[in-house]
Amino acid sequence: MSSSQILKGILEGCLLSIIGKGETYGYEMMEKLHASGFTMVKEGSIYPLLLRMKKEGLVATTQKQVPSGGPKRKYYSLTPKGEEELKEFKKRWSAISGSVDSLLRKEG
């Protein structure tokens, strides 16, 4: 597995988590990722991922009018399947990060 594939899996989990906190749209998700320190992620790379997540039935989309007027904006929300996947991701992540942490501590 290449490092970009690992990052993709992690990024998908993070997007699930962001969307799980409330309906949101692409640019806002990116801002939240950046605010958490994900500056290595190219902004546009979330869209192919979002397309796949929608295809897999993890997220649903609705078009809504932007409050300031202008064109419609696409909002994402989690489907029940997406919430399930988020739970699984959290479990997997805590197992992985726990093991990596303990290994690195021993090395240090």
Partner 1 sequence: MKVSKESQQFLDNLRIYLLSSGKNEQEINEIVEELEDHLYEAERNGKDVEDIIGQSPKEYMNQVADEMPLDLKGVLKYIPIILIGAFSFILIDDAIRGTMEYSLLELIGYPFIFFINLFIMFRIAFRYLAISSLSETKQWLLLSLVGMVPTSLFIVIYYVDRSFQTPSIEFGNVGVTVAVAFAIATLIGITLWSKSWVTIIIPILLFLPRIFINMTSIEDNTKLIVSGILPLVLVGTYLFIVSKRQQHS
Nearer to partner 1 (CB atom), residue 18 or residue 30? 30
- Contact call for residues 33 and 99 (beta carbons, < 8 A): no
Nearest approach, Cβ of residue 31 and partner 1 (Å): 9
Cβ atoms 66, 73 nearer than 8 A: yes
Under the rule (CB under 8 A), what is the footprint of partner 1? Answer: 25-27, 30, 42-45, 47-48, 51-52, 55, 70-74
Q: How far is the CB of 28 from partner 1 (least distance, A)?
A: 9
End-to-end Cα distance, the chain: 26
